[in-house]
Structure 1
Amino acid sequence: MTRRFRPGNQNVVLNYERPTGRMIRVGHARVCESRRSMGDGRRRSWQLIKLGPGLLVAGGCLWLALRDVDRTMVVARLSSANWALAPLMALLLLVFFWLKAWRWRLLLEPVSPMSVRDVAGSLMIGFMANNILPAHLGELVRVHVLGRTHDVPRAAVLSTVVLERLFDLLAILALLGVGLLSGPVLPSRYQQAAVTLAVATCVLLAAAVTFVCAADRCLRIFEWVCNRCLVFLPQRWRLGLVELLASAAGGLVALKRPRLAMGIVAASVVKWFVMALMVWVSLKTLGAVDVFAASLVVVGVIAVVILLPAPPGYVGVIQGCFSVVLAMYAVDPNVTVAASVYYHLWQYVPVTLVGLWCLHRSGLRLRDVAGVQTDAQSG
């Protein structure tokens, strides 16, 4: 029912909804609804635009993986796989995530002492978010979830995540170098790449030790370099670089304790070695032989390439990495693609299901995770 009032010289139309008894200003409500729909449409368009680079990368990787492959042979390989190795694959996956949770607990100990169980839920929710959300937002999601469920300052949690990336980089470079040097004799350009990686690892390790011992001085030097030598970059980017390094400095407290530092380094190396074992088991399951060194290289390449824009779950990216690396070792392309699919299923299905279960146990919903995504993208 519509009623018309005349307050002064203005006509105001009110709509009375009998079931709820609410009074709604029709004209104002329509304007707000129109603006809201326009904002939602722009946000969706922007999200689709951001998906573009990831889809291009995935498409290129899939083309590399499938260009010399017989699809029927891939299906035949998967159907004749040695499924007796599946329990070993499950055990390795469990060990990998336990090591990752244990390392995160060590990094968080100076901030807020917790158990592995306390951090494991947030960790799995973050990996689940990487599998179903774009833009690699899993790290932000797990920071948000841990801060919300355990009342930990998010800035401190973020600093530990930044430090994780540093240790992962060192471990990955080391495994890449070992894989390239310990396998079959490769062309000289690959041997040179192994030497370069070894040198880069030593340089980064020395820089990390220097940063731990003199974090404040390093921050001042880095800020001076950004303001004097990187003036061609937008100021927002320069501030972001300084804040990123400052966040890493905030998590360095754990490295000043020998027990924590040794545990963090050991967990970083062992967990990536376990991931290489998962690649090796995947290849063995599909019938490949003499591919252990190649598995180390595959893991290193995957860890680097997934930093590029990619669709949720890294679809196509993993297949492309398998194909490019294993082509150097003369592995049958059909076996390579089948093994990459097998490996990818283990990384996607159990991780996503466990992450959704942990999300349910935490009392949060996917809407809350999507809220973190929206905030990050709008920022």
Structure 2
Amino acid sequence: MTDSSPKKQRNLLKTLPGLLISAFFLWYTFHKITFAEFRAVRLVQPIWIVGVLAFTLASYTLRCLRWTRMMLPTGASFGVCARVLMTSLAANNILPLRIGDIMRVFTYAGDLGTSPSVILSTVILEKLLDIFVLGLLFVSTMGSIATHSYHVAAYTSLAISFAGLLVLLVGAKPLQPRLAAIFQKLPTNGIMTKLEHWITLALDATARLGVGGSLLLLVYSAVIWTCEGMIFVSALKLVGVPTDRVGPWLAVSFANLSYLIPSSPGAIGPFELAVKTSLVSHGAPASQSALFGLMLHVWLLISITGAGGIIFLLHRIKIHNHTPLLTEIETLPVELP
């Protein structure tokens, strides 16, 4: 009990910079927008509500299917994988320090019938796939928001990451002993040890699935982000923001890559600025672009957090778990394995 207060103070200090960053991004995005512009927002084509709902459902159902595929060697069912994944996504949206991912690795290892290290290997692979597809989409749509030198750097980085991902997906098994030999020759320190461990976990995850299963995950990822892009397309049609065909696809890639910026849970602030910058570069008015980013972000946060939260609560009621969530979180390890 005596360690509880200092631990809470340390966590507060860790989250405060992110909150300040989010506050700055929100101010920078919205400080020139008047209240009248907020009130002027209208649903221009309400039929596109169907598109927003359908593609949101499709995107997150496919995420659950993809993770179930990753967990296939463990024997975990789709129902359990979907519950754990949606719960972790909801927690990431409202709790700091990516607590949702840590819960997925540690809290639900028993439910999934495997070890935290195995779950972590799939989480790492999941992130690598998402970042690769988003990077590909961003590079192919960034157009006017980047200089020529940035284009060269971006294409070079994408080519390297594509080669690396291809090797990871196709040659995971033979790579493991070679990488172990390389790391043995490098200086031993905390960072290098963690890096070796995480790379080994990602290789383990792909090796368990085989080449065909790993390539299927790449297809899943492409379809997932196509559905995510269609959420943006549908929402733009819904509120009537004028932009070209490229605008929403740049917005979906830039906005989701903005989650890499340290900020508050849910990337509040960076997401809105990324959407505004993307749409303005493709002909949309600045105020409409910013308000669109805010409304869409609110929808994504409410729908995913709401779905994950309901699933989480129903499961706790089913298993008669009355332990307060914050108490459970305090028992989690301070870092990933």
Amino acid at match of 1:152: T
Show the counterpart of 2:195: 241
Q: Quick one: which of 104, 111, 116 aligns to 1:149?
A: 111
Contact in 2 for aligned 1:288/1:335 (Cα 8 Å): yes
1:362 maps to what in 2?
315
Distance 2:151 2:112 in 1: 47
* Counterparts in 2 of 1:323 and 1:217: CA distance versus 1, 3 Å: same
- Counterpart pick for 1:301 among 230, 248, 254: 254
Query: Matched residues in 2 for 1:302 and 1:97: separation?
Result: 17
Aligned counterparts of 2:208 and 2:48: Cα–Cα separation in 1: 38
Instruction: Tell me which residue corresponds to 1:199.
Output: 159
CA 332–257 in structure 1, closer or farther in 2 if over 3 Å, else same:
same
Pair 1:344-2:293 in alignment: no
- Please tell me the residue identity of whatever aligns with 1:180: M
Instruction: Give the 3 Å change call, closer, same or farther, for CA 126–240 of structure 1 in structure 2.
Output: same
Question: Counterpart of 2:246 in 1: which secondary structure?
Answer: helix
- Farther-moved stretch of structure 1 (47-56 vs 321-330): 321-330
Query: Are 1:144 and 1:372, in contact at CA under 8 Å, matched by a contact in 2?
Result: no
CA-CA distance at 1:263 after TM superposition: 2.1
Partner of 2:60: 97
Q: Which runs of 5+ in 1 are unaligned?
A: 1-35
Distance 1:350 1:210, change over 3 A: closer
Q: 2:129, 2:182 → 1: CA distance?
A: 20
> 1:1-379 residue pairs with structure 2 within 5 A?
36=1, 38-77=2-41, 79-110=42-73, 112-180=74-142, 188=148, 191-192=151-152, 195-209=155-169, 211-224=171-184, 227-228=186-187, 235-258=189-212, 260-363=213-316, 364=321, 367-368=324-325, 371-372=328-329, 375-377=332-334
Change (3 A) 1:218 1:93: farther
Report how far residue 348 of structure 1 moved: 1.2
Q: Secondary structure at the match of 1:195?
A: helix
Q: How many residues matched?
A: 332
TM-score for the superposition, normalised by structure 1: 0.78
> How far does residue 50 in structure 1 lie from its aligned partner after superposition?
0.6
Q: 1:315 Cα deviation (Å)?
A: 1.8
From the CA coordinates, give the structure whose radius of gyration is larger.
1
Q: Distance in 2 between matches of 1:365 and 1:142?
A: 19
Amino acid in structure 2 at the alignment position of 1:93: T
SS in 2 for 1:309: coil
2-side partners of 1:88 and 1:318: how far apart?
21
Tell whether the 8 Å contact from 2:206 to 2:214 is kept in structure 1 after alignment: no
Partners of 1:135 and 1:310 within 8 A in 2: no
- How much identity, in percent, do the aligned residues show? 19
1:208-245 per-residue CA deviation (whole Å, 9 max, x = no partner) reads 257514232343145236x33xx7xxx32222222211
1:93 Cα offset (Å): 0.8
| AA in 1 matched with 2:120 | L
Q: Tell me, in whole angstroms, the C-alpha distance in 2 between the residues paired with 1:202 and 1:126.
A: 28
TM-score with structure 2 setting the length = 0.87
Gaps of 5+ in 2: none
Residue 198 to residue 236, structure 1, CA distance change in 2 (3 Å): closer
